Amino acid sequence: MRALASPRTSAKPDGGTRAGRGTRRRAWQYTGVPAWIYVVAALGALFILLPLTGMVAQVNWGQFWPLVTSESSVAALGLSLKTAAASTALCIVFGVPLALLLARAQFAGQRILRALILLPLVVPPVVGGLALLYTFGRSGLIGRTLELAGISIAFSTTAVVMAQTFVALPFLVLSLEGSLRTAGQKYEAVAATLGARPGTVLRRVTLPLVLPGLISGAVLSFARSLGEFGATLTFAGSLQGVTRTLPLEIYLQRETDPDAAVALSFLLIAVAVVVVAVTYRAPRSPLRTLLSGPVAERSDAA
Amino acid sequence: MTLHLNAVLAARNVQISLSVAPGETLAIMGPNGAGKSSVVQLLAGLLKPDSGTATLDGKTLFELSPGSAWLPPHLRGVGVLAQEPLLFPHFDVLDNVAFGPRSQGAGRRESRETARRWLAEVDAAGLSARMPSQLSGGQAQRVAIARALATDPALLLLDEPMAALDVNSTPFLRSLLKRVLAGRRAIIVTHSVLDALMLADRTIVMDGGHIVESGPTATLLAHPRSTFAASLAGLNVLPGTLSGSSLVMHDGVQVAGQPAVGPGAGRAGDGAGDGAAPVPEAAGGMDGMAAFPPSAVSVFLEPPVGSPRNCFRVHVTELQPQGGHIRVRAGDLAADISPAATAELALEPGSEVFFVVKAAEVVLYPA
């Protein structure tokens, strides 16, 4: 503790303006990374960065504003934000209990449950959409009964939210389960010996402690929902204002109006960047903790 | 109105039975892996034994095979202070201490009032607005003590509460614990003889999941029966059979000494009752111990001739500087000699030497 604190305070006089922990120059340490690794890593980074640049270069800036404010574009963007928010909420509602069970409880079939929950990560979204369709569709396993009760899910906004939740849930569960395991159960045990009921422990100790993991999981889920395409198209179709989210709109426009597709793609990237940036820049941001790795998370508890 | 524990936990090879009276502080000592922490976790409700019962002031903590009563930790009224302070990092100091009373149903204002009182009790009133990350190790452990006491537990369990602290904060914390544990029922797991002497009325020594020794701390240290207690007391202890003023070891070697009739042995009889037996006048043919301090041992390269003293042929296993002496370890035995003598004898691990002790320095007592 003391060893950590002293260099921070001593950095103030000579460090000048922003003598934070991050801006202070670290002493050179041996890393053991071969030089060629830098080259390959740079290629990898370029592989991500170049296509984005290529797309931005294609944006018709003169027409950008009219293109993204067209009726269909605004409807698609609005629908995307709305459904992604709703599916993120659903991911939190179902994901938190799932993560808690996976990280804390001991029961038979735990590993099978984890494998099942992670399935949407590896299954192609189109297949996920088909699965949803054959379950909740008009003639599906459950959909048939629902249909009799007058509830029709497929090809509605509800279907969009369900498709997005289906593919985004594993992101939240994985992220939160990791945080729960890192946090450990020591604090929960202490809280229990202080007289806190399990519900109180969850509300006042467990969830606050894993809040960074929960938020980063929610951000990941939101981003995944925002980009959902295959499952949505299969299960919900592409009806303007009802089920045609931004990715579907982009795919549709690509055939008829490539300029509009590029502009909307740029918009989607911008929305994603804004979401990530806002979460990252918030004071004591959990995303920052996530991005700077698990070591930073530990220092808080020590 | 006492605490009774009787539990078997096969997974950790623990089989233990103990009781603690109201207001009594019990120290549990023993080597690593002896099952000390398991006892704490069993009583706190963080571990479930395979079988056994535990009652605290008539309240059943658990009753397993026969029966299957199990009281969850939050209903037990058992406080735990661990090696790490484990203050909730997202609450300030005041709310950390107020957490217990609040969880037990007190209002926000009332529980903070209780918290303030306990923070003052541990001399930490000035820290109440700080976050745990802004505290030193000693400060954090003081706050943790206040937090554990704020729920007024019927039993306080302290699991090596000072093991993680630096040397400077230990004395202060020890006297603080002495103050707050007075008249309070507590079990303290510790590696320090000083903790046991200062804080506990009674000490039990565990090894391999069992209690190997039990009694008033002073008696236990004066006449250790287990190798662990002997090493705690800093004594050489040899087991054997008593025969007049000597002890016959299991390999036939005779150790001459003085039968114990000191105040320590006398006190054992009227002690808490479990373990320590009174010393009979003529202890012949019964199992006994011979104890002598390492400082009473002289080290020779050749066996002394025609001497009435005890002589053990040993092989040096380890040399350790200790204070102004060198502690020469040879198996279970130890001798303290000066560095000069060590150099003169050219001692090194493996050397064959003779440990010589006067009979007057050896105390014999029944096991």
DSSP for A15-71, written as a single string: H-S---TTTSPPPP------HHHHHHHHHHHHHHHHHHHHHHHH--HHHHHHHHTSH
Tell me A105's DSSP state. -
Within a domain: B225: no
What three-state secondary structure class fits A102? helix
Instruction: Give the lowest-confidence range in B100-104, B106-110, B359-363.
Output: B359-363
Are B348 and B242 within one domain? yes
Instruction: Give the lowest-confidence range in A17-31, A110-124, A131-145, A189-203.
Output: A17-31
The overall average pLDDT reported for chain A is 84
Are B98 and B53 within one domain? yes
Residues 242-301 of A with CB under 8 A from B: 300-301
| Nearest residue to B275 via CA among B40, B30, B18 | B18
Q: Count CB-CB contacts under 10 A for residue B217.
A: 23
Are B41 and B126 within one domain? yes
Candidates A2, A192, A204; nearest CB to B74: A192
Within a domain: B222: no
CA of B79: which chain A residue's CA is closest?
A193
8 Å CB contact of A195 and B74: yes
Q: How far apart are CA B255 and CA B359, in angstroms?
A: 8
A291 or A155: which carries more pLDDT confidence? Answer: A155
Are B183 and B316 within one domain? no
Distances (CA, A) of A74 to A35, A65, A67, A97, A241: 48, 11, 10, 35, 9
List chain B residues with CB under 8 Å of A195.
74-75, 77, 100, 103-104, 151
User: For residue B6, what pLDDT is reported?
Assistant: 92
- The rounded percent of chain B whose pLDDT value lies above 70 is 92
ipTM of the complex model = 0.79
Q: How far apart are CA B132 and CA A13, in angstroms?
A: 26
Q: How far apart are CA B273 and CA B238, in angstroms?
A: 24
Residues 179-198 of A with CB under 8 A from B: 186-187, 189-198
CA of A184: which chain B residue's CA is closest?
B86
pLDDT at residue A9 greater than cutoff 60: no
Are B209 and B238 within one domain? no
A292 or B340: which carries more pLDDT confidence? Answer: B340
The label of the residue with tokens 């929950």 reads A117
What three-state secondary structure class fits A151? coil
The overall average pLDDT reported for chain B is 87
Give the pLDDT mean for B93-122.
95
Q: What does pTM read for this prediction?
A: 0.77
- Residue A8 pLDDT level (bands cut at 50, 70, 90): very low
User: For residue A28, what pLDDT is reported?
Assistant: 84
Domain ranges in chain A? 71-301
User: For residue B171, what pLDDT is reported?
Assistant: 87
* CATH code of the domain covering residue B110: 3.40.50.300
pLDDT at residue B271 greater than cutoff 80: no
Candidates B76, B136, B147; nearest CB to A1: B136
List chain B residues with CB under 8 Å of A189.
44, 46, 73, 80
Are B242 and B299 within one domain? yes
The label of the residue with tokens 């605490």 reads B3
Q: Count CB-CB contacts under 10 A for residue B160.
A: 20
List chain B residues with CB under 8 Å of A204.
99, 103
> How close, in Å, is residue B300 to chain A by CA atoms?
48
Tell me A282's DSSP state. S
Are B144 and B293 within one domain? no
8 Å CB contact of B136 and A198: no
Most confident of A163-172, B162-171, B270-279: A163-172
> How close, in Å, is residue A293 to chain B by CA atoms?
19
- State which amino acid sits at residue B223: H
8 Å CB contact of A2 and B136: yes
Sequence-distant contacts of B217-221: CB under 8 A, at least 24 apart: B217/B27, B218/B264, B218/B267, B219/B264, B219/B265, B219/B267, B219/B268, B219/B271, B219/B276, B220/B276, B221/B193, B221/B197
* CATH code of the domain covering residue B238: 2.40.50.100
- State which amino acid sits at residue B136: S
Distances (CA, A) of B77 to A124, A225, B94, B355: 53, 47, 21, 53
Are B117 and B182 within one domain? yes
Q: How far apart are CA B29 and CA B26, in angstroms?
A: 10
Are B175 and B46 within one domain? yes
Candidates A1, A194, A300; nearest CB to B100: A194
CA of A284: which chain B residue's CA is closest?
B90
B66 prior amide bond cis, ω within 30? yes
To the nearest 10°, the Cα dihedral for B351, B352, B358, B364? 100
CA of A211: which chain B residue's CA is closest?
B90
Phi and psi, residue A208, nearest 5° = -60, -35
Distances (CA, A) of A249 to A81, A126, A155: 14, 17, 15
Candidates B82, B84, B151; nearest CB to A194: B151
List of residues 6+ apart from B265 with CB closer than 8 A: B219, B222, B223, B278, B279, B365
List chain A residues with CB under 8 Å of B151.
194-195
- The rounded percent of chain A whose pLDDT value lies above 90 is 54
8 Å CB contact of B88 and A191: yes
What is the tens place of the pLDDT at every residue in A50-84?
Answer: 998 998 898 988 889 998 899 989 999 999 999 99
List of residues 6+ apart from A166 with CB closer than 8 A: A120, A128, A132, A231
| Nearest residue to B227 via CA among B322, B332, B82 | B332
Number of domains in chain B: 2
Phi and psi, residue A17, nearest 5° = -65, -70
| Nearest residue to A152 via CA among A66, A243, A20, A229 | A243
What is the tens place of the pLDDT at every residue in A183-202?
Answer: 889 999 999 999 999 999 99
Are B113 and B173 within one domain? yes
Interface of B with A (CB under 8 A): 44-46, 72-80, 82, 84, 86, 88-90, 99-100, 103-104, 133, 136-137, 147-148, 151
List chain A residues with CB under 8 Å of B103.
191, 194-197, 200, 204
What is the tens place of the pLDDT at every residue in B215-251?
Answer: 998 888 888 888 888 888 888 888 888 888 888 888 8
CA of B45: which chain A residue's CA is closest?
A193
Domain span at residue B178? 3-214
8 Å CB contact of B73 and A192: yes
Candidates B99, B133, B137; nearest CB to A194: B99
8 Å CB contact of B88 and A197: no
B117 or B364: which carries more pLDDT confidence? Answer: B117
Q: How far apart are CA A178 and CA A214, in angstroms?
A: 10
CA of A2: which chain B residue's CA is closest?
B136
Within a domain: B220: no
User: For residue A173, what pLDDT is reported?
Assistant: 94
Are B208 and B240 within one domain? no
8 Å CB contact of A204 and B89: no
What is the tens place of the pLDDT at every residue in A260-302?
Answer: 999 999 988 888 888 777 776 655 555 555 555 443 333 343 3
Name the token pair of B138.
Answer: 């000693």
User: For residue B16, what pLDDT is reported?
Assistant: 93
**The CATH fold of domain A71-301:** MetI-like fold (1.10.3720)
Q: Count CB-CB contacts under 10 A for residue B263.
A: 11
> How close, in Å, is residue A194 to chain B by CA atoms?
5
Contact B320, B272 (CB under 8 A): no
- State which amino acid sits at residue A40: V
Are B268 and B303 within one domain? yes
What is the tens place of the pLDDT at every residue in B118-150?
Answer: 999 999 999 999 999 999 999 999 999 999 999
Q: Which of A179, A190, A207 to mutate to test the interface with B (most CBs of B within 10 A)?
A: A190
List chain A residues with CB under 8 Å of B75.
195
The neighbouring-strand residues paired with A73 are none
Contact A233, A248 (CB under 8 A): yes
